[in-house]
């Protein structure tokens, strides 16, 4: 993790919080080039104030509204990372010759991906690049995770995920996740159950992409702990677009959420927003 600063006041555009696994996970708030160690500030006052400015995370230009978690509208329309197929990889159109950025697609989509089961607010299925483990699970606030299948491309992972969504959700209930009341699951048993129920569909995909394209994994479940002093009984959400100041005592960090005694805020949602941070 990059070096953090003890500065009391920071100013810069928000980026996704940096996180590393640990007992508990370690978080740093990122505002421009500055880093703020959040774990060390648990139980202390924290204030974030939006200046009213938003900068595109790709080109840096000022924008009145953020699209696709931190992009101006022109970048949102032209970048491959903002295309529909990023959220729905099974809709990949690279082979049709219509990828917005073929070189970017080759670097990011044609590399090994994992299909996993996770438990953040209950059982869910998801996909991620192999290089994003375990960051992907920490960003979701998962307390358990288990990789179950490996594939060669993002599109293949999308087809597998669509198959699994016949049996299990691909979404996290963020309010339930933030209450910290998620029961522990036997992910190995869930994996075995789902692989048995979906054996026919997986066989069809292997016939389409090749026998070795979808490979079973035999890994142990991972567990995660978060720096939280107290979970909220009722989840109240802060939104810079409605109120530019968010302040309170920092009670915890989970996923990409700050948990304050005044409410919670998803910092990833406000990527590119310029804020002052007082801690």
Residues 62-117: tens digit of each pLDDT: 999 999 989 999 999 999 999 999 999 999 999 999 999 999 999 999 999 999 99
Q: Which strands, in side-by-side order, build the sheet including 273-278?
A: 34-37, 26-31, 9-20, 273-278, 45-54, 245-254, 257-260, 263-266
Evaluate whether residue 83 is within a structural domain.
Answer: no
Sign (positive/negative) of CA torsion 62, 49, 179, 230? positive
Evaluate whether residue 185 is within a structural domain.
Answer: yes
* pLDDT at residue 8, as a whole number: 62
pLDDT over threshold 50, residue 47: yes
Overall number of domains in the chain:
2
Structure tokens at 256: 């990409």
Evaluate whether residue 16 is within a structural domain.
Answer: yes
* pLDDT at residue 140, as a whole number: 97
Q: Are residues 182 and 151 in the same domain?
A: yes
Residues 188-233: tens digit of each pLDDT: 999 999 999 999 999 999 999 998 999 999 999 999 999 999 999 9
Quote the domain boundaries for residue 237: 9-68+227-278
Q: Are residues 183 and 274 in the same domain?
A: no
pLDDT over threshold 50, residue 30: yes
């Amino acid at each position: 993790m990059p070096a953090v600063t003890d500065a009391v006041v920071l100013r810069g555009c928000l980026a996704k919080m940096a996180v590393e696994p640990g007992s508990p996970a370690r978080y740093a708030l990122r505002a421009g080039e500055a880093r703020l160690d959040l774990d060390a500030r648990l139980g202390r006052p924290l204030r974030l104030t939006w200046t009213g400015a938003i900068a595109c995370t790709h080109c840096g230009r000022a924008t009145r509204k953020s699209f696709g978690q931190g992009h101006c509208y022109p970048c949102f329309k032209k970048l491959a990372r903002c295309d529909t197929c990023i959220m729905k990889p099974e809709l990949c159109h690279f082979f049709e010759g219509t990828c917005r950025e073929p070189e970017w697609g080759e670097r990011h989509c044609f590399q090994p991906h994992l299909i996993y089961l996770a438990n953040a607010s209950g059982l869910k299925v998801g996909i991620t690049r192999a290089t994003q483990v375990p960051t992907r699970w920490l960003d979701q606030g998962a307390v358990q995770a288990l990789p179950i299948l490996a594939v060669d491309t993002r599109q293949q992972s999308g087809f597998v995920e669509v198959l699994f969504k016949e049996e299990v959700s691909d979404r996290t209930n963020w309010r339930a996740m933030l209450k910290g009341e998620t029961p522990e699951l036997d992910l190995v048993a869930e994996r075995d159950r789902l692989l048995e129920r979906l054996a026919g569909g997986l066989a069809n995909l292997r016939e389409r992409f090749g026998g070795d394209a979808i490979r079973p994994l035999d890994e142990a479940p991972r567990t995660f702990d978060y720096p939280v002093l107290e979970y909220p009984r009722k989840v109240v959400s802060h939104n810079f677009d409605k109120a530019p100041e968010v302040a309170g005592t920092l009670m915890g960090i989970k996923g990409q959420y700050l948990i304050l005694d005044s409410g919670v805020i998803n910092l990833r949602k406000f990527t590119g927003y310029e804020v002052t941070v007082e801690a």
